[in-house]
Amino acid sequence: MEFAKFETVSIKSHPELNERWIQDRIAEDPSIIGLGDLVLKDRERLQPRAGRLDLLLQDLDSNRRYEVEIQLGATDESHIIRTIEYWDIERKRYPQYDHTAVIVAEDITSRFLNVISLFNGIIPIIAIQMKALRSEERIGLVFTTVVDQMVLGYVDDDEEGQEPTDRAYWENRGSKKTLALVDKLYEIAKTHDSALELKYNKFYIGLAKDSVPNNFVIFRPKKGFLRIEPRLKNSPETQERLESAGLVVMDYDSRWGRYRIKLQPGDIEKHEGILTEVIAEAYAVSIHD
């Protein structure tokens, strides 16, 4: 394999490269910024009394949109404010989508890295550092996420804020058939820790050990089906594996970092292998958190 030496190029001071060129490259292939399989919804999107949003991207497999602002050189106050302002306008205009603000800059300084980190968790915001690399007459772009969207503290795990319920409550809200599905998956979860117990909460059925929540997978029984939600990082590989196995995969819950899988009676026997794998992976993630 031949070694190639790359030289870092300042886009801001380059005589030919500019922000429009960056927009063109991302518009051609939005996946290059590293946020998954995205499509371009709009560029230079007019914002009422607030200028133009550089790029509006949307995840192909979910209802998540990314409001992207590009900054040549180092981040500054106006760039951060503008990014948050455009995110706020878009989320109010289109509340049916999940919105994330994205700052892309050549240099995200430590000062503004701290500022962005303060916003994260309150405002869904991602900071991406962009580098242009040249080899002879060719130039490429490398995008590195330096502040990722924070998976908000597991509010659904906060038992103090949940009204306690019991199995009878869920048999009424769901059904005995869907509770039977929960029992089968619970047995799979217990193979990783026999001390796990089902914890009946108002909005979901979780897991606990010695009364302490360990919700690496939660269950939401309905009348005719069960939705299970393992906590795993979103990835094209996992999505493909689940769908190839024949599972019904709903939109990924980016807010809480969970896959959402819809199961009908009989599906556990049909898909026991892949469900066992997913639960094992979620458990492995939980013990390393």
Dump the DSSP string for 149-173. Answer: PP----GGG-GGGS-B--HHHHHHH
Question: Top-level CATH class of 155-288?
Answer: alpha beta
Is 155-288 the same fold as 7-147? Answer: no
Domain boundaries, the chain: 7-147, 155-288
**pLDDT score of 8 more than 80:** yes
C-alpha span between 158 and 168 (Å, rounded): 22
**pLDDT score of 161 more than 70:** no
**pLDDT score of 111 more than 80:** no
Among 75-84, 162-171, 206-215, 255-264, which is the least confidently predicted range? 162-171
Tokens at residue 89, please?
């306008």
Mean pLDDT of the chain: 87
C-alpha span between 235 and 66 (Å, rounded): 17
Question: Top-level CATH class of 7-147?
Answer: alpha beta
* Residue 131 confidence class, pLDDT cut points 50, 70, 90: very high
**pLDDT score of 109 more than 90:** no
C-alpha span between 124 and 122 (Å, rounded): 6
47's CB contacts (< 8 A; 6+ apart) are 53, 85, 86, 89
User: What pLDDT is recorded for position 149?
Assistant: 67
